[in-house]
Amino acid sequence: MDSFSNVFSLEGKVALVTGASYGIGFAIASAYAKAGATIVFNDIKQELVDKGIAAYKELGIDTHGYVCDVTDEAAVDAMVAQIEKEVGVIDILVNNAGIIKRIPMTEMTAEQFRQVIDVDLNAPFIVSKAVIPSMIKKGHGKIINICSMMSELGRETVSAYAAAKGGLKMLTKNICSEYGQYNIQCNGIGPGYIETPQTAPLREVQPDGSRHPFDQFICAKTPANRWLKPEELQGPAVFLASDASDAVNGHILYVDGGILAYIGKQPQ
């Protein structure tokens, strides 16, 4: 391999991707494995961790899976210590685990709002805080936060999610600001609308056989007129985890097919 392509290699690196039994996290971790990284992931249930390990194995990828609720600081600290003991210091962290609750704000309880903030914003803080000290000791680190279109835009029923993802954008910039001096790069990926279980309700075929109104809406807002696939995040994710992005810090890389640039297709 010539020296330039090495710049995208993750050989010898340990990557932790949170919530990566399936969905976007699974796609990113799979790409990291193909780029040479050792993959560590967590999920909230053992059965999902087991399913994830089996799914990775089907791709020929050996992984280390841990059961851990990323909102539980003690559990996260224990998991990171166990990973460092069993696998090695974490070189790359992807804060991917996330939830959404689609409820009109005036009908959402404060507890429901807090639950979304807890997973989507507090947890990236907790996990990043747990891995940064060893990254400082090691002299390098990559933290990638999975942001969203809702880091920039609002829409009905996703107030908690938008607040969390907007906060995650600024947490990304603050980790960059505070730890860039230790050769730690913290960037975000802002996916557009991706075909995963999280967005499945927005793509459900209607009882009359028609497409979900939101499905039609989002395709009209995307220049390519389609939903994106998790695999389309793999290249950008490898870039931000590799030496190729050592001078990129505090940046949110929107992988949205152009949604943020486009006023939307005129109804025919």
Q: How far, in Å, CA of 19 to CA of 52, rounded?
A: 10
Whose Cβ is closer to ligand NAP: residue 98's or residue 141's?
A: 98
H, E, C per residue of 23-53: HHHHHHHHHHHHCCCEEEEEECCHHHHHHHH
Q: CB of 156: closest distance to ligand GCO in angstroms?
A: 9
Q: Candidates 37-45, 125-133, 194-202, 228-236: pick the segment binding ligand GCO (CB under 6 A).
A: 194-202
Residue 70 binding ligand NAP, by CB under 6 A: yes
Q: What share of the chain is helix, strand, coil (3-state, %, to 5)?
A: 50, 15, 35
Q: CB of 71: closest distance to ligand NAP in angstroms?
A: 5
Instruction: Return all residues near 52 (Cβ < 8 A) that are at least 6 apart.
Output: 20, 21, 22, 26, 41, 43, 63, 65
Residue length, the chain? 268
* Binding partner of 14, given ligand GCO, ligand NAP, none, CB within 5-8 angstroms per partner class: none
Q: Which of residues 103-142 bind ligand GCO (CB under 6 A)?
A: none
Site string for ligand NAP, 101-120 (x = CB under 6 A): ------------------x-
Q: Give per-residue burial for 143-178: e unless 16+ CB within 10 Å, then b.
A: bbbbbbbbbbeeeeebbbbbbbbbbbbebbbebbee
Options 32, 56, 66, 161, the catalytic residue? 161
Helix axis angle, 23-34 to 234-241, nearest 10°: 60
Q: Candidates 45-53, 75-83, 119-127, 189-197: pick the segment binding ligand GCO (CB under 6 A).
A: 189-197
182 a catalytic residue: no
Q: How far, in Å, CA of 79 to CA of 11, rounded?
A: 23
Q: Which of residues 134-153 bind ligand NAP (CB under 6 A)?
A: 146, 148
**Which residues participate in catalysis according to the annotation?**
161
Q: Where along the sequence are the contacts to ligand NAP (CB under 6 A)?
A: 18-19, 21-25, 42-45, 48, 69-71, 96-99, 119, 146, 148, 191, 193-194, 196-199
Q: Where along the sequence are the contacts to ligand GCO (CB under 6 A)?
A: 100, 102, 148-150, 155, 158, 161, 191-193, 198-199, 202
